[in-house]
Amino acid sequence: MEANEVQELQEHAEHGSHESAMRSVAFTMAVLAVLVAITTVLGHRTHTEAVLTQNKATDQWNFYQAHKIRSNDTELTSDLLGAVAVSNPAAAEKIRKSYADHQTKWSAELTDEQNKAEALEAQVDNAEKRADRFDLAEALLEIGLVITSVTLLTRSRAYWYFGMAFAVAGIASAVVGLLLR
């Protein structure tokens, strides 16, 4: 065997060992890409949940406001019936009594409607907190993926470890987002 052939075989062997050493980096990058995709979908769904729940809360507040306006109008009409002279005082008193009964019923309903609206707003806040965690996780995982990919260019494992640190932080943020309820 000639010296050139021996040198060529040695270079191929060294090249092969570098390739097998980079397989773990390539595999890590593939896993990180999948985690980025999953986290992105979770973030988008959570943002959508927050928007839809905010719409429900707005509708609930509108319902509350409509009841409040109706209650105020009834109270004003009742007060007006008591303040002006009417041709049939017995009928006016009957109407005032009916309005008073409605007011009693509506005041309990108003409290219930307000509680429902506040509960929906709490759900919106929770969904926004979860979405923020998913957004942070997505950013950290993407940073980890990019830094890890530098390992393939430089052949320096330091970038792989550095990228993995960002990835672990991203995974932790995603887990927190999943656990918030």
For 165, the domain range is: 13-179
Give the C-alpha separation, 40 to 12, whole Å.
Answer: 41
**Mean pLDDT within 51-67:** 92
Residue 121 belongs to some domain of the structure: yes
Burial code (b: 16+ CB inside 10 Å, e: under 16) for 166-175 equals bbebbbebbe
Residue 1 belongs to some domain of the structure: no
Which string of DSSP letters, residue by residue, matches 77-134? HHHHHHHS--S-HHHHHHHHHHHHHHHHHHHHHHHHHHHHHHHHHHHHHHHHHHHHHH
Can you say whether residue 156 is alpha, beta or left, with left for phi > 0 and alpha for psi between -120 and 50 degrees?
beta
Percent of the chain clearing pLDDT 90 (strictly above): 53
What's the pLDDT at 103?
Answer: 78
Structure tokens at 159: 């970038």
Give pLDDT tens digits for 12-38. Answer: 545 555 567 788 899 999 999 999 999
* Position 2 pLDDT exceeds 60: no
Residue 88 belongs to some domain of the structure: yes
Q: CA neighbours within 13 Å on the CB side: how many for 103?
A: 14
* Position 11 pLDDT exceeds 90: no
- Looking at the structure of the chain, the number of domains it has is 1
Residue 93 belongs to some domain of the structure: yes
Residue 157 belongs to some domain of the structure: yes
**Mean pLDDT within 84-108:** 75
Give pLDDT tens digits for 102-126. Answer: 777 777 888 889 999 999 999 999 9
Give pLDDT tens digits for 135-161. Answer: 999 999 999 999 999 998 888 889 999
3-state secondary structure of 1: coil
Residue 7 belongs to some domain of the structure: no
**Entry pTM:** 0.73
Residue 160 belongs to some domain of the structure: yes
